[in-house]
Amino acid sequence: MEYLDAENALLREGLRATRIGLCIVDANDRVVQTAGDFAERLGSSDRDMLGSSLRLHLPNTLLLPGLAGLLGMDGGEVGAEGHLRGQNGAADKVLLFQARTATVAGARFRIITMVDLDNFGATRDRMGDLQDTLQAIAASVVLVDAQAPDLPIAYVNRRFEQLTGYTARECIGRNCRFLQGPDTDPAAVEAIRRAIGLRQATQVVLRNYRKNGDAFDNELFLSPIFDAEGRLRWILGVARERRERALSSQAAA
Ligand X SMILES: Cc1cc2nc3c(=O)[nH]c(=O)nc-3n(C[C@H](O)[C@H](O)[C@H](O)COP(=O)(O)O)c2cc1C
Interface residue list for ligand X (CB under 6 A): 142, 144, 151, 175-177, 179-180, 189, 192-193, 196, 206, 208, 218, 220, 222, 235, 237, 239
CB of 131 or CB of 175, closer to ligand X: 175
DSSP, res 125:
G
Query: CB of 192 within 8 A of CB of 222?
Result: yes
| Shortest spacing between CB 207 and ligand X, in angstroms | 8
What burial class does residue 109 get, using C-beta atoms within 10 Å of its C-beta: 0-12 exposed, 13-18 middle, 19+ buried? middle
Residue whose beta carbon is closest to ligand X: 237
> 3-class SS at 87?
coil
| Shortest spacing between CB 240 and ligand X, in angstroms | 10
| Shortest spacing between CB 18 and ligand X, in angstroms | 18
CB of 124 or CB of 243, closer to ligand X: 243
CB of 35 or CB of 146, closer to ligand X: 146
Residue 163 half-sphere exposure, CB side, CA atoms within 13 Å?
Answer: 24
Query: CB of 220 within 8 A of CB of 239?
Result: yes
d(CA 183, CA 186): 9
CB of 84 or CB of 235, closer to ligand X: 235
| Shortest spacing between CB 242 and ligand X, in angstroms | 12
